[in-house]
Amino acid sequence: MRYLTAGESHGPQLTLIIEGLPSRLPFSKEKIDTELARRQKGYGRGRRMQIESDQVQILSGIRFEKTTGAPVALAIENKDWVKWVEIMRPDTDPGQAEKRRVARPRPGHADLNGAIKYGHRDMRDVLERSSARETAARVAAGAVAKQVLEHCGIRVASHVVRIGSVATERIDLNGWTAETIAEKSEASPVRCLDPEAEQAMIRVIDEAKEEGDSLGGVVEVVVENVPVGLGSHVHYDRKLDARIAQAIVSINAFKGAEIGIGFEAGERKGSQVHDEILWSEERGFHRATNRLGGFEGGMTTGEPLVVRGVMKPIPTLYKPLQSVDIDTKEPFAASIERSDNCAVPAASVVAENVVAWEVAKALLETFSSDKAEDLLREVERHRNEVKGF
Ligand SMILES: Cc1cc2nc3c(=O)[nH]c(=O)nc-3n(C[C@H](O)[C@H](O)[C@H](O)COP(=O)(O)O)c2cc1C
Ligand SMILES: C=C(O[C@@H]1CC(C(=O)O)=C[C@@H](OP(=O)(O)O)[C@H]1O)C(=O)O
C-alpha cells in the first residue's frame, strides 16, 4: 500500500491517491471527516482553522461504501483559496505574484533552503508546499489506514505529554486502553490525560501567545491489539520501528521519535529496560513490562506499540526574529499576519494517523490482502497460531 499527496496551502485543494487497499473493505467517509475535524482543533491554533472545515470528496475506488481494490482518490478543499486565486493561479501571472513576492525568509521554516535549492526568488513557491496544510491529506490517508486496522480489531490513540515546560508523568498502560486514551484526550482542549497538567499547558500557551512566542511539545501514540511479527529483523527498510520513526520525523516541525522509553533507555541498566518474557495458558507468550514499546528486532512483540514524537515550537512568530532580505541582503525583523502559536494537540492527531498508516501497511505486507475477507481470516489464523506457539 502506498500514497501520494499533492496540493499547496492556498491552492484550490489537497489531493490524495492511495493504492493497494484490499477490495471489499467497509469504507466510511464520515470516519475520515471526523479525523480531519480532530486535526483542526486544539488550543493554540491560529485563525486559518476558523476558515477551513475539512471534509473529503471521494473521487474514485469506492462504490456503495466499500473499496473496489482500485486506487482511492480523495480531495480536500482549501476554503481560503478564493482569497488567493490571483496569487496562486497556474496560468498567466497578472502581476499580483510579483507585487506579493515573498523575499524575507522565516528562521526555522523551509523558506530559504527551499528557495536556494529550487532557484526561486519568490519564496511562496516553497512555503506553499512546506506548509503543514499538507498534513490534512496525510491524516486522510491515516483515517483510511485506520479502517484497515479496525477491520482487524487494531486500535490507535494519541495524547499530548508535554507542552513547553509542562509535562505529564509517563502513564502505565496497564491502567489504560487505546479506547480510554482516545476518549479522555478527545475531551481535553490540549489532548492531555492529566487535568492538572492540562490547565498548566493552557497557561503556558497563553503566556507564549501574549509574548508573541510559540511552543512545541511531545505527543504519544499507542496502538493496541497488534499481531506479533509485523515488520522484520532481516533488512533495514523492513524494520517497522524504523519506518514509524521516519513517519514521525516527517511531520512538519517534528525533530525526534522515541519507541517505548526511548532516550531514557540510555540512562538505565539492561535489567531496567528489557521486558521479561512470560507464558500463560490464557495469553500465550507475553511480556512482564512494555518498556520497549512493543518492538524487538524491528518486529512487533504483540504488546501495545508506544511511540513518542517531539515537535519544535512553530517557526512563524509574532515576536520578530532577525533574518535577511534575499534581494537587498539587509537584515530585518520579521512580522507576520497570522500563525498557530502551538499546534502540538493538532500534531498529535497527525502523529496518530501516520503511525496508523505504517502499521496498516505492514499488516498488508504480512498477510494475504487482495480481499478484506482474506486479510481478516489470515490475521485470525495467525493470532490462533501464535497462541499455540
Ligand atoms: C499541525 C501543524 C501546524 C503548523 N502550523 C504552523 C504555522 O501556523 N506556522 C508555522 O510557521 N509553522 C507551522 N507548522 C510547522 C511548519 O510547517 C514547519 O516548521 C515547517 O514546515 C518547516 O519544517 P521543519 O520544522 O520540519 O524543519 C505547523 C506544523 C504542524 C504539524
Ligand atoms: C493550514 C494549516 O496549517 C497551516 C500551517 C502553516 C505552516 O506554515 O506550516 C501555516 C498556517 O497557514 P496560513 O499561513 O495559511 O495561516 C497554518 O494555518 C492546516 O493545518 O490546515
Q: What is the mean pLDDT of the chain?
A: 96
Using the mean position of ligand 2's atoms as its centre, give its distance from the Cα of residue 201 in Å.
22
- The pLDDT of residue 338: 86
- The pLDDT of residue 214: 96
pLDDT above 90 (res 101): yes
Cβ atoms of residues 302 and 285 within 8 Å: yes
Cell of 237: 527498510
Task: Give the mean pLDDT of 119-145.
Answer: 97
* Burial of residue 30 (number of CB atoms within 10 Å: 0-12, 13-18, 19+): exposed
pLDDT above 90 (res 337): no
Using the mean position of ligand 2's atoms as its centre, give its distance from the Cα of residue 127 in Å.
10
| Pocket lining: 133 vs ligand 2, CB cutoff 6 Å | yes
Q: What is the rounded CA–CA span in Å between residue 130 and residue 144?
A: 23
Task: Give the mean pLDDT of 176-202.
Answer: 96
| Domain made up of 2-387: CATH architecture | 4-Layer Sandwich (3.60)
Which tens digit of pLDDT belongs to each residue from 341-377? 999 999 999 999 999 999 999 999 999 999 999 999 9
CA atoms within 13 A on the CB side of 73: 5
- The pLDDT of residue 229: 98
- The pLDDT of residue 360: 98
Residue 109 CA: nearest ligand 1 atom is 22
Which tens digit of pLDDT belongs to each residue from 292-327? 999 999 999 999 999 999 999 999 988 889 999 999
Where is pLDDT greater, at 336 or 224? 224
* Burial of residue 69 (number of CB atoms within 10 Å: 0-12, 13-18, 19+): middle
**How many helical (H) and strand (E) elements, i.e. helices and strands, does the chain have?**
12, 17
Q: Is 253 annotated as a binding residue?
A: yes
DSSP string, 334-349: ---S---S--HHHHHH
Domain boundaries, the chain: 2-387
- The pLDDT of residue 173: 75
pLDDT above 80 (res 175): no
Using the mean position of ligand 2's atoms as its centre, give its distance from the Cα of residue 365 in Å.
34
Which tens digit of pLDDT belongs to each residue from 48-72? 999 999 999 999 999 999 999 999 9
Using the mean position of ligand 1's atoms as its centre, give its distance from the Cα of residue 317 in Å.
11
Task: Give the mean pLDDT of 378-385.
Answer: 97
Predicted ipTM?
0.98
Cell of 193: 490525560
pLDDT above 70 (res 335): no
| Pocket lining: 69 vs ligand 1, CB cutoff 6 Å | no
| Pocket lining: 315 vs ligand 1, CB cutoff 6 Å | yes
pTM: 0.98
Output the CA–CA distances (angstroms, integers) from residue 193 to 146, 160, 180, 377, in the order listed: 22, 8, 10, 36
pLDDT above 80 (res 166): yes
pLDDT above 80 (res 269): yes
